[in-house]
Amino acid sequence: MKINSKDKIHILFFLLLSLCLNAQQKTGNIVEYFGKEKVNDIKEGKLLHVFDSGLSLKLQNVGHNSITFPKDPVFSKFLMNPEYRALKDKVFDIDFKGDELKWKAIKVDSTNSFRDRSLRSSYVYLTYKSNTEKTVLFEASGHTIALINGYPHEGDYYDYGWSLIPITLKKGTNVFVLKVGRFPRIRARLIEPKAKVQITTRDLTLPDVLIEEPTDYLAAVRVINATENWVKNYKIISEIDGKSKEKLVQDLPPMSVQKVAYNIAPVTDTSKLGRIEMKLNLSNGKQIVDTKTTTNIRVKSKYKKYKRTFISDIDGSVQYFSIAPTTNKTEDAQAMFLSVHGASVKAENQANAYKQKDWGNVIAPTNRRPFGFAWEDWGRLDALEVLAEAKRIYKPDEKRIYLTGHSMGGHGTWYLGATYPDYFAALGPCAGYPDLLLYRDRSLNRLSQMSEERMKRFGITPKVLERMQIKHVPSSVENMIARAGTPSRTLGLIRNYLHHGIYVYHGEKDNVVPTAIARDMRERLGKFHNDFTYYEYPDGTHWYGDHSMDWEPIFDLFKNRTIKNDEDIDELEFYTGSPGVSSKSHFIKIHQQEKAFKVSSFKFLKDKQYIITTDNVALLEVDFNKINDTINSLVLDGKPLSVDSESIIFFKKEKGEWNITTKSDSKEKGPHRNGGFKDAFRNNVVLVYATNGTEEENKWYYKRALFDAEKFWYRANGNIEMISDRDFSLKKYADRNVVLYGNEDNNAAWNKVLKESPIQVNNSKINFGGKILTGNNWGMYFVVPRQDSDLASVGVVTATGEEGMKAAYANHYLVNGSTFPDVILFDDSVLVDGVSKVKCAGFFGNDWSIEHGDFEWK
């Protein structure tokens, strides 16, 4: 039996997770898995309450359910009806089998956790009755998201025990609704904070201090602001080896936890090698208000494996990468190996799995987290940032840069290699899958081969399986939404592998990433590629020791491959899903597409003349200087054009005809700013929330922005700055991306950045390029350029009223695998019915207009 849907992710994930953990917990020093290092001790105050009883509701969705707009009838009920209360045995709904869905009583086990297989695909309802209004920290783990008294907050689905959410308990009953995460267990507690402003050492980002480098180091720690006011002008003072460093803390929003940067002094005494104590003091400018001590800081030699930190251009946060440095201390311009880790693996453990090489440095980026973004979205950007930073520091031979990785990192190798083909001389994907959706599809197909007993274990009855097999026929709107994911469809870019030598390495008996996936890639490559090696490790499972990726024959292949010089290229092909993700190979660059987020390509041939053929390209750049040849003509899609061989020339297609044009207009779409709503969350983005509306509007949009900040911290180790609309100025935040929460009536910054936007939103009205929609139930996400900047964008999370605000509560645009075009418009029914209720989706034209755009309406 063939299972057709690609979106049955919840059941699939639990199945894959079980397989992964069974494989990973047995072997390997690079593996870190859920809950292994969970924080249990409370150092931020005293325990006030443990939630030891509650209610659960199992709501297993086995039909089509989009990642971008998943159905969520439970949260819809609590959001749209704040007075709704769950009661034991109260019927919530009737499922497709005709069974009543009831709230069931649950109790914690000896570990104070709600833990039972029946919690899979469930919601947990908890209440706490407070005699007074008071400030507490809500600490929970094992959940994907929480609604606390009607406002959304990020969960702790990897079960780290990191979540600390300052909340004000109201007098009377307080309601907490948690969606169960990747495991059927949840813990929830209330903590009475020891101080309103304090440090927490849960989730530190630390460098290794190198005795050979007498310079300041960057680190990050989280600071809790459990007050209703902004906290300003605080300082972090670090003390290490008798030396202190002081750094001003960014302004801390009310009732938030922010991960802030600080400095660490150097340590150059070789007798201090090893772990060293560091004290962190938090000062309000007058006195020390909190002190924490950690022994997690390490003093190391730069000739051993170590970690470095840097400031990310995405959000200004502190990130790290790990290095297995070369053993050759004398040779300059050595090779560099970018090694991307698997799911749950820390970057430092990735580097530790490699023996140090004598001809290059192994560089291991983080993907922003051990799970992060599967090397797509912000994981992709992290890999690029780390590669650039590593090049700056180690100054490698630019022709000898290589890419490899294991498992999810094998996927990262296939994906990054196809996306940036001229960055790497060769690829070494180990136990990898090329495309995330292909991986999910194959794994779903495996369900039909499971025993009936095993299916039952995962709640898959024959009727459930039958429902899963129903083929979903997407609407034109759904197809438009899915189109935003084209840059991630790696197989559509497969011919970009012609740039590389490739070593495909897989275990013969891998049951986590099935060996059939590697064999499929061998077959695909064999049809057009003449420089790849394929090897299955005999009896190899998913992980069989460090040689699962530190495999000498891979590096032998690398040794014999270099990136070609531009002048030596006679033939060149390049494919991209979006110039905003990848735009170039060597001396040719795609600036604009005819159809946004469909595959675009060029083919270059140097014969008796220069010939370029294109597909879905509207604006092309050729740097003839790099070719180092004397030419005076080019044939572009069959049209001869006169060119100067010592210049950079732009070619624009208008009405199907190519002509030479001036340099691309930065105000139009291009590699610097090409859209897709997710693109707003980069370029040192700042979140600007509304304060000019009603009390409820202002509170909602503040909480909504805080929710995004929480999710970006948790998923991306991020630190996005939040400000009010009244504190925003074009000058102070020049050339930075902005995500604005609210509409023209309630966000005072709207007309500063969105006055020229083709979409205008007010209370009870949307003007969509002249199309008018009325009512308070509309929600919307869209992205447009900042008119005062040649590179920055404005993302908009907006609504026409209370129902629309709550319809837009979710932030799945910060989830890997979700797809968001430039514009998505929906109403409140999307919460119950999912993506089928999206009203409009699409892309602006290359001039950022609706008129020249591509939109689908329902």
The predicted model scores a pTM of 0.94
* Tokens describing residue 163: 């979540």
The residues with which 185 forms a beta bridge, in sequence order, are 115
Position 9 scores a pLDDT of 37
Position 662 scores a pLDDT of 86
Where the chain has pLDDT below 50, the residues are 1-35
* Tokens describing residue 387: 């590669």
Burial class (CB in 10 A: 0-12, 13-18, 19+), 227: middle
Q: Which residues of 191-201 are buried (b: 16+ CB within 10 A; e: fewer)?
A: bbbeeebbbbe
* Tokens describing residue 50: 């443990």
573-589 residue pLDDT tens: 999 999 999 999 999 99
Please, which residues have CB within 8 angstroms of residue 79's CB and are 6 or more apart in sequence?
Answer: 147, 150, 806, 809, 831
User: Cα separation of 197 and 249, whole Å?
Assistant: 12
Measured CA angle at 708 (ends 702, 713), to 5 deg: 125
Which one-letter DSSP state was computed for residue 252?
A: B
Please, which residues have CB within 8 angstroms of residue 458's CB and are 6 or more apart in sequence?
Answer: 11, 14, 15, 120
Position 18 scores a pLDDT of 39
Which one-letter DSSP state was computed for residue 496?
A: G
121 closest CA partner among 15, 243, 267: 15
Query: In which element (H, E) is residue 282 found?
Result: strand 274-283
Length of the chain: 858
Strand order in the sheet with 778-785: 721-724, 686-689, 738-741, 793-799, 778-785, 823-827, 838-843, 854-857
